[in-house]
Structures are given as C-alpha cells and as structure tokens.
Amino acid sequence: MRPLANYKVLDEAHRLVLAVYRSTGSFPKDERFGLRSQLRRAATSISLNIAEGTGRKSDRDFAKFLSIASGSAGELEYGIRLGHDLGYFTSTDAGELTTHLREVRKMLSGLLRVLTADR
C-alpha cells in the first residue's frame, strides 16, 4: 500500500476538484443534474481513482487506476470547453481550469510512464 501523502498528483487533483466545485456553483438550475453534475463527477473521479490506485498492491494495478483517472481528465477537459461555449464559464475561469487540468494530466502521464517503464 502506498501512502496518499507521497503523491503530489493527488494533491493537485484535489485542488482541481475544489476549483471545479466552486466554478460550477453558478451554473443554471436546469444544469443541476446535467453538465454541472457531470463535471463534478469527472473531476472527483480523477482524485478517487488515484487514491484507489494507491491501495493496490502491484504497479500494474496502480497504473490501471491512473489510466482511468486520465480518461476522466479527458472527459473533464471537454466538459470545461462545452461549459465555456454554453456561456457557463468565463474565458478566464475556463482557461484557469484547463491549465490546472493539463498540469494534472502531465503528472498522471509521468507517473504512468514510471510505473510501466519496466514492463
């Protein structure tokens, strides 16, 4: 089992979740169970999959959960774009979220490379 505190990517992903929750709070009421919920679930999925992966015994299993987290990051990136194009995010908010998300994605990719390098 890997200690959660050892993974900076989890800290960054956690900060991203908080930013997504704050930024989606002003979405229209009719998006409560639509895009707002989907963006929050995608952001949360990134962190939860990283955390779950740390509890796995093998690097291979850990890598599988990081891959799922990476998929959720792709979903979130598109959702931010859609939210911006629908007028739910300002350009500034969308840009900040996307920049933060891309940093998390880079960190995930780097960790995945390390875990799968010896295969």
Which fold, 4-116?
A: de novo design (two linked rop proteins) (1.20.1440)
- 8 pLDDT higher than 70: yes
Residues 6 or more apart whose Cβ sits within 8 Å of residue 10:
4, 47, 50, 51, 54
Cα–Cα distance between 107 and 85 in angstroms, integer?
27
- 19 pLDDT higher than 90: yes
pLDDT over 70 percentage in the chain: 94
Q: Quick check: 65 and 25 in contact, CB under 8 A? A: no
Can you give the pLDDT at residue 5? 61
Cα–Cα distance between 91 and 101 in angstroms, integer?
15
- 93 pLDDT higher than 70: yes
- 110 pLDDT higher than 90: yes
- Residue extents of the structural domains in the chain: 4-116
- pLDDT band with cut points at 50, 70 and 90 for residue 113: very high
Q: What is the DSSP string of 54-77?
A: HT-SSHHHHHHHHHHHHHHHHHHH
Element (H, E) at 11: helix 8-24
Can you give the pLDDT at residue 119? 59
pLDDT averaged over every residue in the chain: 94
pLDDT tens per residue, range 24-74? 999 999 999 999 999 999 999 999 999 999 999 899 999 999 999 999 999
